[in-house]
Structure formats: structure tokens, C-alpha cells
Structure 1
Amino acid sequence: MSQAPRESILEPELPIIDPHHHLWDRSAPVPTLPPVKHDFERVVRRSPRYLLDELLADVGSGHKIIGTVFVECGAMYRADGPPHMRPVGETEFVGGVAAMSASGTYGEARACAGIVGHADLTRGAAAREVLEGHLAAGAGRFRGVRQSASYDADPGVLGPLARQGPELYRQEAFREGFAQLAPLGLSFDAWMLEPQIPDLIDLASAFPETSIILDHVGTPLGVASYAGRREERFGVWRDNIRELAKRPNVTVKVGGLAMVFPGFPSLLADPPASSEQLASEWKPYVETCIEAFGAERCMFESNFPVDVLSCDYAVLWNAFKRLASGASASEKAALFADTARRTYRLAI
């Protein structure tokens, strides 16, 4: 793939808290790589290792990133012990990265100032054990959990991420586990696909005291059996977003639109898309979310390195800045830092 011309950084002094990125190391050599069957597999091929060095390179690419939030991705689980407690290993790993960053040795940005881990809430009340394990391992940085409900009857939509059955967030056992979050002061990140948003509306209504964050604007679809239907389904997505926004305990991460699932023309474009093209493609979704939730309940996210198939880190934040160009100073502060700071209770 050819390289896009390097863009000048827009508004380089605007403080940013990136509320959604991952860390992983999947670079162990494989004797024979299987053929790519889904574009999501290209993410790991392109970014097999994304640890502190790679994150710092992105954070230091020109925008004023003052802190980040790590979100679970199945990295560095414990190799032994009870299976339900193994995800605590990810929090232990990320806590070490956060401590390295907090030393100031690597610059002023505070990487992983907040940590979102994984817990299987379908264990019901017994899920409290792993939540308490995360809190102990997080050294004051653990903020909540994410358990993906992403599902579609067409397995080609999610490809290697098709691991979940339908209606997870409506299941009684899941909700019994979900009820453990608020008493511990923990929030919940929800990743699901656009047709599933009604499940989150129902969950948010049932637990108004629990802070819920919708990841990736609910993941619009334009691949597999949804190819060519993204615009057709926009009205359904919009109406569900407006209904979800009526629940004051919900905030939304505005991003993830560079993933494979929406199927925008910028995906794997050669040469890579400019921030102008990205802003144009994403505008209807971004504007709808900000109109429905207000800037104080929206936060731009990088979702790196997952979104690398459409753009690099600097171009992505330029696209968001173009989309927010008409916002007031207070609205920009919320979209780029203050909503994330408040939602994840960050001292940065």
C-alpha cells in the first residue's frame, strides 16, 4: 500500500484524552499463516505488536494527547488458575504499563490512566469475585468492564470475532452479574452491532444507576450480508441512538468508524484516505450522536490499533477535529477530553 501525504496537525494545542485503545502482543512466529478470510484478520497481520512503544509513537505523532484509557482485548491473561479469574492478568499487565507511563520517563502523557477489563457477568453474583480481583490488580486505575454482545446471524459479519450468541444483555444471569457493577463504583462498556442497540436500551432502562458507555457509535454495518445497505439502515440506527440517548446513564464513544464493519470506501484505500475524506464519510454518524447525546455525553476515541486499516493515528484525530470545527470551545473540551475524564474518573 502506498503512503498518504503527511498531514499537518490541526489544533495541536487542543488537549485530548484517548478513551479507547488496546495493547497486545500477537507477534509470536507462526510457521504457516492461514489465508485471510475476514478483513479484521488484517489488523493483527499489520499490527501484531502494540505495546507501550507503539502506543507512545502514536501518542507522540503531533496531537496533544494527555492521557489514555485501555480497553480489554484478551491480552496477557493468566496462564493458570481458575478460568474466570484469568482476565485479571490483563489488568495486571496494563497496570504495569500505566506505572511505567506515570513515572514520567516516557513523556507527559499518562498512558492507561484508566483500565477497562473483562469479566464474564453471566456468572451472576459470583462475578463479584473477578471484579474485586480487577480492582485489587488495578492499583487505583481500574474503572469498569466490557463484555461484548456483538452477534449477527450472518457469521461473515464478525468473522473471527463471532463468539457470542444473541441477546446477551437480556439474559437473566448476565443481568445478575451486571448488578454487581454499580455497588463497586464500576462502569460498563458495551460493544454490539447496530441491529442490537435495542438490547442496550432495555439494559440501560433496567439499571439506571449504572454508568454505561456505548462503544463505536453502536457499530454500523456495511459488510457481508449488509454490504450496500449501510445507508438503508441509517434511519434505524439514528432512531435507536435517539432513544438510547434518553437514558441519562449512557454516554457514547464517537469513533470505531474506521473499522472493517461499516465498510466505508476509506477501508484499505490505496492511497490511504485523507482526514477530509474520513470526516465526510463519518459525518452523519458523528453529528447524530452529538445532537442526541450532547457534547457532554460524547467522547472521540481512537480504537487503535484496530482502526489502522483506514488511517493512521494522526490522521484520525485530524478527522475528528474537522468534524468538531463548528463546535464551541466548551463543546470541544468535552468531546476531546472532559467527557472521558468525567466518565472514567481520571485525575489528569
Structure 2
Amino acid sequence: MSSPFQIIDPHVHFWSLKENNQPWLADPQPNLLGDYSPMAHDHLPQDLVQASGEIEVLATVHVEADATDPIAETRWLSRLMETGERLAPSALVVGVDLSRDDAEAVLDEHMSLSTSVRGVRQILNVHANPLFDYVGRHYMHEKLWKDHFALLADRNLSFDLQIYPSQMAEAATLARQHADTQFVLNHAGMYVDRTTLAGWQDWRDGLRLLGQCPNVSIKLSGFGMLDHHWTPESIRPLIWEAIDVFGVERALFASNFPVDGLYASYTQLWQAYADIVSGVSKHEFARLFRDNARSLYCL
């Protein structure tokens, strides 16, 4: 399919460095992203407007951007949304540390700041290799964290699930225990261990476990984070496998703007997605690129 075409982008990040809320941008240190210093500057809705080119972006969902103070991030985003600026977020997935004693109060403060809060993300990635380890602890093992997870269903909030394949079996158990909570697996399940057949099998089998949970959807995004030199051919098997497991009813494309802008332009990314699924029907295309995001995040 040739551009232009319409999308809803359900995974973007905005930030302003003068807010001093993303210290990881103030002093970039190479990590799994590689050298991410080229994105260590403000990223605002007008930057996405410029990047989108002929892609017609109908709406965006902002996902928390590892802010030191998630409440301050939501307060800043709320002001941004009030401006009516084009491509300011239509919905927010906010940051909450569910392991903290004050998790419920923090969650409610987010919701008091904006009626556009639709979900929560707390990054859970743990890996033996320090290069890939995000958090250094297994939150899903912790009783207080698991107790606080129930707060999401009480408030009709979804959970953006960012994990590695080695954590998928435990996440599937969590999803079954919280059948009333919508889970959205981030970044196609982050297929990280790419050098062995076992690594592929862990990703594939983990997806199948999660796919058996009807309350889990998958966000097809973030491919450049672990494959800095991706091509449409290299990510095609991952996208096809994910759609085969979850179906077009529970899969949705996203950009991970501006992070994946380190590896390809915004238009190159969306055109690759469109080309990879060029054989789907118009109805299926609409679900993958717009309608599933609209439904999941109540846009």
C-alpha cells in the first residue's frame, strides 16, 4: 500500500527537557538502544506532525516515558492537551509504581489530573545481561505489587505490559488472574535473545501462552530497539507470527516515536508495516492501523 493512509498511533512519547523529568536524556549512556543521544532533545506534538509526512495521524496515545516524577509528567501532558495542539495525546498511559505503599493515591492523582487516563505502564523487563536489564527486580513476584495490580480493574484501566519472553509465562498467569483487566503487550514481546534457536522458541512459545488469554492484545512496535538495522524482511516473520497468534482482532501497529526514529523515519516505519500486511482486507487493515487502538484506549 502506498501512502498516504490513515493511522491511530497508540504508542508515542513526548517530553520537554526543561521539565527535568527524564534524567536519562540529560546524560545519555549507551544501552540496548545503542547511542540514543540523537534523540536527547525536546519531542513535542509539532515534531510528530512534521515527522508524519503523508501519513495521516488521526490520534495518538501517550505512553509514560520513564519520568522521575510520573505525576509531573501527567500534569505537563494535561497542559499540553489543553492547548488543542494537533497530535497532542488523545489518551494517556501513565506511570505508576505498583510496588509502592502509595500506589493507590498516585493512581488516583493521575486520574484527577486528566480524564484521558486510560491505562498504566510499569516497565517490568528483567534480564541476566545488564545491557538489557531495565529494573533489576521481579515485580511480578512481589505480593504488594500483585495486590496493587487489582486497583486497575477497579478503575477500568488497562495495563501496558513490557516484558521479555522469559517473563511471558508468569505474565500469562497474571492475565488469567485478572481477566477483567485489558493487557497490551508492548513492542511485540521484545524478542531479545536472538543468537540461538532457544531464544526464538522462548519468544514464540511465550506469545502463544499470552495469546491464549482473551484479555491480552499485542502492540507491534519497537522493532528497532533490539534490531538496530531492521529491514521489512527482518521484521516480517515477527509481525506475521504475532498476528497469527493474536489475530487481527488483538494486534495493533504503533511507532514508539521518537525512540524508533533512531533507526528509521516515521514514514519509513509505517510504510514498512503497510507493505508487510499488504495482503489483508480493508477491514483488517483498519483494525490493525486504527480501530483496535481506538477500541483499546477508548478514543
TM-score, with length taken from structure 1? 0.79
Aligned to 1:249: 215
Structure 2: tracts of 5 or more residues without a match: none
Q: Please give the alpha-carbon distance, in whole angstroms, between the structure 1 residues aligned to 2:44 and 2:70.
A: 18
Task: Tell me the amino acid that sits aligned with residue 252 of structure 2.
Answer: M
| Structure 1: distance between partners of 2:71 and 2:56 | 31
Measure how far apart 1:26 and its partner are: 3.7
The yes-or-no answer on 1:58 pairing with 2:51 is: yes
Which of 71, 74, 78 aligns to 1:91? It is 74
CA distance, structure 1, for counterparts of residue 29 and residue 151 of structure 2: 39
Structure 2 counterparts to residues 207-226 of structure 1, below 5 A: 207-221=178-192, 226=193
Decide which of 274, 285, 299 is 2:252's aligned counterpart. Answer: 299
In structure 2, relative to structure 1, the CA distance for the partners of 1:227 and 1:332 (3 Å cut) is closer
Corresponding residue SS for 1:111: coil
Alignment of 1:126-165 (within 5 A): 126-138=102-114, 140-158=115-133, 162-165=134-137
Residues 210-232 of structure 1: CA distance to partner in whole angstroms, max 9, x if unpaired?
111110011111xxxx4633x55
Say if 2:237 is the partner of 1:284.
yes
Is the CA contact 1:43–1:305 (under 8 Å) kept in the aligned structure 2? no
Distance 1:47 1:320, change over 3 A: farther
Answer yes or no: is the 8 Å Cα contact 1:47–1:305 preserved in 2.
no
* CA 133–155 in structure 1, closer or farther in 2 if over 3 Å, else same: same
Q: Write the deviation string for residues 179-238 of structure 1: whole angstroms up to 9, x where unpaired.
A: 0011111111111122221221111011111111110011111xxxx4633x55212211
Query: Structure 1 segments of 4 or more deviating over 4 A?
Result: 33-36
Tell me, what secondary structure is at the counterpart of 1:281? helix
**Is 2:203 the counterpart of 1:228?**
no
1: CA distance, partners of 2:169 / 2:117: 28
Provide, for residues 96-149 of structure 1, a one-character-per-residue CA deviation record: whole Å limited to 9, x for no partner.
22222xx3xx55xx431010111111136x4221111111111x2111110011
CA contact (8 A) 1:304 1:313 kept: yes
Q: Number of residues paired by the alignment?
A: 294
Q: CA deviation at 1:264?
A: 5.0
The structure 2 residue matched to 1:118, chosen from 95, 98, 113, is: 95
Seen in structure 2, the aligned counterparts of structure 1 residues 168 and 36 have a Cα distance that, compared at 3 Å, is: closer
Which 5+ residue runs of structure 1 have no aligned equivalent?
1-8, 78-85, 267-277
* Aligned-partner SS, 2:90: strand
| Aligned-pair CA distance for 1:95 | 1.5
Question: In the superposition, relative to structure 1, how do residues 237 and 35 fare at CA in structure 2: closer, same or farther (>3 Å)?
Answer: closer
The verdict on how the C-alpha distance between 1:44 and 1:70 changes in structure 2, with shifts beyond 3 A counting, is: farther
Matched, 1:11 2:11: no
Partners of 2:61 and 2:91 within 8 A in 1: yes
Q: Determine if the alignment matches structure 1 residue 237 to structure 2 residue 203.
A: yes
Q: Please say if residues 26 and 44 of structure 1, whose CA atoms lie closer than 8 Å, have aligned partners that are also in contact.
A: no
**Identity percentage of aligned residues:** 31
2:164 to 193, 197, 219: 193
In 2, Cα distance between equivalents of 1:133 and 1:35? 30
2:285 aligned with 1:308, yes or no? no
* Whole-Å separation in 2 of the counterparts to 1:188 and 1:258: 23
- Give TM-score, length-normalised by structure 2: 0.91
Superposed CA deviations along residues 148-190 of structure 1, whole A, max 9, x for unmatched, are: 11111110224xxx3331x312321111111001111111111
